Amino acid sequence: MVKSRTEICKDYRKRLKEKDNEGYLRKECERRRSNYIPTGLLSLAEKTERRKNIRESVKRYREKKKRLTEEQNVSSQNKSINTSSYESVNGVIDNSNNMIVAMQFPRRAAGPTKRFTRELKRAKKEITELKRANID
């Protein structure tokens, strides 16, 4: 059966991924960047479609990231506790006093910093405008 042009391209890209994945990813990134159309040049329907696709991909990425961090936390809790050589000689480990604490430190958002810089910028602008008004 004859393959369509899209099927031929798909198979070709699949072979490239299998052969040289790192080089393929670099070239694919460059290809996508060169074919990118800025949002300002798109029609309203195309903008909404692109934004919908981006929202879905970001949602999948966040779910994957959350799942991976949960798996890492579970695996870190399941790891055995290192003991000193004195405890291992006796062969008896008292687990009643051991406590495992899994601490997560999420990245802090840049929201407050942005807000402060905006307020500072507005205040400086207002001061310069008042100085100009006093000079005139």
pLDDT digits over 49-108, tens only?
999 999 999 999 999 999 999 888 887 776 655 555 555 555 555 566 767 777 776 666
Determine if the pTM surpasses 0.75. Answer: no
Helices (H), 41-84: 44-78
Give the pLDDT score at 22: 83
Count up the domains in the chain and report the number.
2
42: buried, middle or exposed (CB in 10 Å: 19+, 13-18, 0-12)? middle
Q: Is residue 3 part of a domain?
A: yes
User: Exposed e or buried b for every residue in 71-104, given b needs 16+ CB within 10 A?
Assistant: eeeeeeeeeeeeeeeeeeeeeeeeeeeeeeeeee
Task: State the CB neighbour count (10 A cutoff) for residue 16.
Answer: 15
Asked if 47 and 27 sit in the same domain, the reply is no
Q: Is residue 28 part of a domain?
A: yes
Asked if 1 and 21 sit in the same domain, the reply is yes
Q: Is residue 115 part of a domain?
A: no
Q: Is residue 116 part of a domain?
A: no
Backbone angles phi, psi at 57, to 5 degrees: -70, -35
Q: Is residue 121 part of a domain?
A: no
The residue segments making up the domain with residue 54 are 40-75
Q: Is residue 112 part of a domain?
A: no
Closest CA to 98 of 127, 120, 74, 77: 77
Give the pLDDT score at 110: 63
Asked if 48 and 32 sit in the same domain, the reply is no
Asked if 2 and 30 sit in the same domain, the reply is yes
Asked if 4 and 24 sit in the same domain, the reply is yes
Give the pLDDT score at 94: 58
Instruction: Give the mean pLDDT of the chain.
Output: 82
- Percent residues over pLDDT 70 in the chain: 79
Q: Flag whether pLDDT at 32 surpasses 80.
A: yes
Give the pLDDT score at 46: 94
Give the pLDDT score at 76: 74
Q: Is residue 5 part of a domain?
A: yes
pLDDT: which is higher, 15 or 49: 49
Asked if 44 and 31 sit in the same domain, the reply is no
CA distances from 55 to 35, 59, 65, 68, 94 (A): 20, 6, 15, 20, 50
